[in-house]
Amino acid sequence: MIDYAQETLSSIISRDYRASEVFRRHHLDFCSKSDLSLEKICSLLQIRHEDIVAELNELKNIEADMKIDGAQGLMEMKESIRHGHHAALTENMKQIDAYLRRLVSVHEEQFPWIRAVLRQFESVAFGVGDSIKRKELVLFPAIDQMSQCIQQKTKYTIPGFGSVRNLLNRLTAEHEQNITAMDKISALSQGFTAPADGCNTFAVAMGKMRELHALMKTNAEWEQGAFFPQIIELEQLLLSD
């Protein structure tokens, strides 16, 4: 069993997206308070963190490889990604952007490289935001359409943008581009390391970028290894009918 008590909500979600559903049931704000430990936020809400830890560990007993089953499984995972991973990404990027802009306005003269970090991060934020929109406005409705065809036993027609496979190939390329952009920030900041004589804002900004980098990699590996292949499989099944 894993003791999640000292982990942040964001790091827990990065390991398993289904954790977002556990947090939602217990009214834990995993967006604006994603940098708090599970034990800390439970203490603030006066609820037992042990109960939530038990539920999180129970997830490990349910298809540890996160294999999902058919259209209904895809629908559930789609919503988990939307409310878990996407929400956490969006909130973290918003916070990081604010920290970096403050660092540039106050400390650029002493640490001129921080402006290059901000410019590169703006590229990351745009790229990740674009990918999120593409999934939520194009991919997710396509999954809804496939699910509806299964439920209503109607004929599936390829969406106007073409095969879902092509869309997933584009999203995979965007994963790689966004992670490469974060790698450049890592190089500019010596591995997301705050200067020894930097202020606390430096430490927080670098820590949150390190966490974001890990979250992006985990998401890319999971989507490309489990989620995307099963979307392709479902489309192929519908087209064969």
In a domain, 184, yes or no: yes
Q: What is the pLDDT of residue 125?
A: 96
In a domain, 17, yes or no: yes
The parent domain of residue 130 ranges over 70-240
Q: What is the pLDDT of residue 4?
A: 87
Dihedral angle of Cα 91, 95, 101, 106, to the nearest 10 degrees? 180
The tokens for 241 are: 């009918």
Tally of domains in the chain: 2
Q: Angle 212-38-18 (CA atoms, 0-180°, nearest 5)?
A: 65
Q: Identify whether the C-beta of residue 31 lies closer than 8 Å to the C-beta of residue 55.
A: no
Same domain, 208 and 97: yes
Same domain, 223 and 115: yes
For 72-115, the pLDDT digits (tens) are 678 888 887 888 788 888 888 998 999 999 999 999 999 999 99
Same domain, 161 and 122: yes
Q: What is the pTM of this model?
A: 0.72
Same domain, 46 and 92: no
In a domain, 142, yes or no: yes
Amino acid at 87: A
CATH number for the domain harbouring residue 139: 1.20.140
Phi, psi torsion values for 81, nearest 5 degrees:
-65, -45
For 163-181, the pLDDT digits (tens) are 899 999 999 999 999 999 9
DSSP letter at 7 equals: S
The tokens for 72 are: 């209904």
In a domain, 203, yes or no: yes
